[in-house]
Every structure is written in structure tokens, then in C-alpha cells.
Amino acid sequence: MIYLDNAATTQIKSEVLEAMMPYFRDLYENPSASYDSAKIVKKTIEQAREQVANLIHCKPSEVFFTSGGTESDNWAINMIAENYSNKGKHIITTAIEHHAVLHTTKRLEENGFEVTYVGVDEKGMIDIEQLENSIRPDTILVSVMTANNEIGTIQPIKEIGKIARKNKVIFHTDAVQAYGHIPIDVSKMKIDMLSASGHKIFGPKGIGILYIKSGIKTSSFMQGGGQEKGYRPGTYNVPAIVGMGKASEMAMETIDRNIEKYIRDYFLNRLIDEIPLCYLNGDDKERLPNNINVRFEYVDAEALLVLLNRHGICASVGSACTTGQIEPSHVLISIGLNSEQAGESIRLTVSDFTTLNDIDIAVEMLKSSVERLRSASGKYREYIEKNRGINMKSSGWNKKAGE
Ligand code: PLP
């Protein structure tokens, strides 16, 4: 198997799994209990909180453990809506957010809130001027993702933070794809709330965090015990919390090494050089280091995935959460692709585990599969007829990675 779907989830690192193991069987005490052995477990949770805080440069007391990115996004947005509605009922977000954000804001709209969805340009970069102009006296929240899960575009978070802070509006960012992959400093970037998830950084599934800057009016969305200062009750998922901490610590060590970027650039350059009519979706510079999203013109992406799957190559047509839907990706439509073009696009995401040999095999497989699907396409044959004599390899290329 060649796994090229690391934006959907990642393989757990051995060191992370090893760190978690004792907490399943030997150190199983409920950390909320008062005896000494439980206190040891509680201490490990606090260590994990510190490991997370170190990665995003906040205080450990500002980190709250959740069940994942979806919960963190839901909690952040609903909490601000609940606690700040006396100031206003207007929220600003973007058209390309993950459904964990979009479905939450949709629900709020049904309950009397007004939401502005800021658009993006052809590279997926938000219109910062539109964002600033959208802020009103009744705006209580700006929620903009750090980086997009489909096309990898990284938003100008520092600039957005500055605008929000200047206008005294709370700024939340869904950093699920960015956390651990690119440097984040919540203080320098003026981020008030941040969502992250363990399973995107070689940690376990079902664990995430919400960073809440001290001073933000906080409340729980579930009722229960006193865990997480009573704001996120429920018995601690200790092994997962330990895993999230360890994965965060390991991400700190690898974040500047650019291994993912090296593999990704090699892959992308080969695709662009060797497959005609292949276009990069998204921004070529402000892009997550592990992400490729390409369009092979005259190729049905779903059919391409089937062929790749037959050869043991795992890729996707966008977000794992939307795969199986007939609707074209809202992200690809937002950057100006039509439904047909969106249906020709696939996402290939690498990791530190991906080898150059994996990429060589994947490129060959992509070349032959693209060729096979195009040979069955009437539209492609028409295109060839029209362009007879023209060197196809030089037509319509996007820039290579790093250029
Ligand atoms: N936000 C983004 C940008 C994501 O990519 C994902 C998952 O793919 C989520 C939120 C949801 O995170 P989780 O799977 O941890 O619930």
C-alpha cells in the first residue's frame, strides 16, 4: 500500500504509541481520584497539556482537551455565540471552511445569527479587505481556518489576527491541518481560540484540543463533572491525551526539517513535468508542506481513484468527510473551478513516512491511469484532434513547486 491521504489521517508514530501503552493497562487510574497512583496519571495529563502549549506558544492553562477537531470547532463557535450575544449576533467566516465550522454557523443562522462568508481568490486566499469591511459593531467572532484541508492554502493568519484584535472581535482559527505542520504562535498571531486534532499529526484519533486565551468568557456545552475546570466534563481519555502530547512534542522537533515539503515538491514537480494538462489547485507558495491538489484535465477523478486503489494507492478527492457525496467540493467551486473541473481534481497528501520510492511508483501509476482514462474520453480525443502538431507538454502549465 502507498498511503497518500495524510490529510484525512496519519499513521501513529511508534514513539507515540509506546508513550500511550502504559495508560491502557498499568496506569489506568481515574486521574480525578485522590490516591497517589491517580495523581501520577493526572501529572501526565498536565505534561501533555504543556507539550501542546509549547507547540503553539500559549499557557498550559489555556489548553482544553476535547474529542477532536470537530468538537473543538463546534465548542468554540457555539460558546462565543452563547456568551457574547448581548454584544451582537454577527459572525464572520469563510466559504472554504471545514464542515465542522460551516454546519455550526448554518445552525446558528437558523437560530437568529447572521453570518458573513468571506470569499477567496483562485488560489484559495481569503479576501482580507472584504473581511475587514465585513466587521460591524455587532460582530462577535471571526473564524478563519489556518490552512485548508483540500487545497492546502495557508491564510494570512497574523494579518487577520491583527484586524480582529484592532476591532475587538474574537478570532478563532481551525488549525486542524496546520497544527504541527507549520509553526504557529498564538500570541504573535493574535489568535484567541484555536482548534487542533491528534490524528493529523501522527497521534491517535478521537483527541483534540481547543486553545482558549485567558479572558475569553468560557462555558461548557456538556454538563457533567469538574474535568477541564468544568468546561469539558467527562472522564479523561488518558492514553489519547498522552498521545496528543507526545505527537505535539515530536512535531516540534520535525517542524523545521521540511521532510514533508521535500517529498511533496519532488512529487509535484514530477507530476507537472511528466503528465500533460496537469494543473495545481491552490497556492504554490502559501501551501501546507504535505499537500498536493491537482487537476488532470479530461480525467474523471473518481474513476482515477478506483484505478489507483486497485494498485494499492490511497488518495482522495478532497475531504474524507465529503467523499461519497455527489456535490462538487465547495472549496474547489469557491476558487472558481466549475463542477466538471472540480470532478477532475484529486488530493495527494504525503508524510514523513512517505519515501521517494513510494512517489516513483505513484507517479508511474498516475501516468498510466491518466493515460488510460483519457484514451476512453471523447472530449480528450476532440482536444487532440484540434491541437494536432502542437507540443502538448508545453501547454497550460502551472508553476512548479518552489518556483
Ligand atoms: N477541520 C479541518 C480543517 C479538518 O481537516 C478536519 C478533519 O479532517 C476537522 C476539522 C475535523 O477534525 P476531527 O477529524 O479531529 O474531528
* 314 noted as active-site residue: no
CB of 299 closer than 8 Å to CB of 344: yes
Between the CA of residue 87 and those of 84, 114, 141, what are the distances in Å?
A: 6, 13, 11
pLDDT reported for residue 262: 97
pLDDT reported for residue 327: 83
pLDDT reported for residue 388: 81
The total of other beta-carbon atoms located within 10 Å of residue 81's CB is 20
Which residues face 92 on adjacent strands? 116, 142
Closest residue by Cα to atom 13, ligand 1, is 69
Q: What is the pLDDT of residues 331-351, one digit of tens each?
A: 999 999 999 999 999 999 999
Distance between CA atoms of residues 211 and 191, nearest Å: 9
- Tell me, in angstroms, the distance from the centre of ligand 1 to residue 212's CA: 18
CA atoms within 13 A on the CB side of 130: 14
- Tell me, in angstroms, the distance from the centre of ligand 1 to residue 69's CA: 5
- What is the residue-wise DSSP string for 316-384? BSS-TTTTT-SSPPHHHHHTT--HHHHTTEEEEE--TT--HHHHHHHHHHHHHHHHHHHHT-HHHHHHH
- Tell me, in angstroms, the distance from the centre of ligand 1 to residue 224's CA: 25
- Tell me, in angstroms, the distance from the centre of ligand 1 to residue 71's CA: 9
pLDDT reported for residue 139: 98
Closest residue by Cα to atom 5, ligand 1, is 149
Q: Which three three-digit cell numbers place residue 314?
A: 490511497
- Residue 320 CA, closest ligand 1 atom number: 8
- What is the residue-wise DSSP string for 139-174? EEEEE--SB-TTT-BBP-HHHHHHHHHHTT-EEEEE
- Mean pLDDT in order along the chain per 10 residues (403 residues): 98 98 97 96 98 98 98 98 98 98 98 98 97 98 98 98 98 98 98 98 98 98 95 97 98 92 97 96 97 97 97 84 70 96 97 97 98 96 86 47 41
Phi and psi of 16, rounded to 5°?
-70, -45
pLDDT reported for residue 395: 40
The set of protein residues with a Cβ atom below 6 angstroms from ligand 1 is 68-70, 73, 98, 100, 145, 149, 174, 176-177, 197, 208, 319
